[in-house]
Amino acid sequence: MCTSFVLETLDGKHVLSRTMDFAFILEANPTVSPRNYEWKSSTDGVNYTNAYAFVGAGRELDKYIFADGLNEEGLSCASLYLPGEAVYALEAIDGKINLAPQEFLLWMLGTCATIEDVEAKLADINLVDQPVALLGITTPLHW
């Protein structure tokens, strides 16, 4: 199980820290996702274009997959492993933003500027049980 915490410095800045407790070596490297990065959801084939650039620990598979990141607006997030607890929809739902769990961070940091943006869009998100091809399993994540 991965863990994260945020510390606030005396001058009001925030520092995100996390562990990576996953039995598979992800081989993630410092990676930049540029503004206008285009990618396709593995759940329903919908194309997305990210409005915001961000930097994080990532790896290119069929698209870039990120373990964590910070976008140009200052929004940050970490994908954290949570075995035995995460449950996802079995199929895509028409009218929803259908994402595999490993795509959520890519979508969120690329399309949201603030926590309020995330909150406003969460009702439209449908996380679908979609395995990562390299692993052969759906990664049980929380953010």
Active-site residue numbers? 2
Instruction: Take residue 85 and report the two structure tokens written for it.
Output: 């607890």
Cβ pair 110, 54 in contact under 8 A: yes
Of 47, 44, 19, which Cα lies nearest the Cα of 107? 47
CA 109 from centre of chain: 7
Q: What amino acid occupies position 58?
A: G
Distance CA 103, CA 29 (A): 17
DSSP code for 63: S
What single DSSP character describes residue 12?
Answer: S
Distance CA 31, CA 6 (A): 21
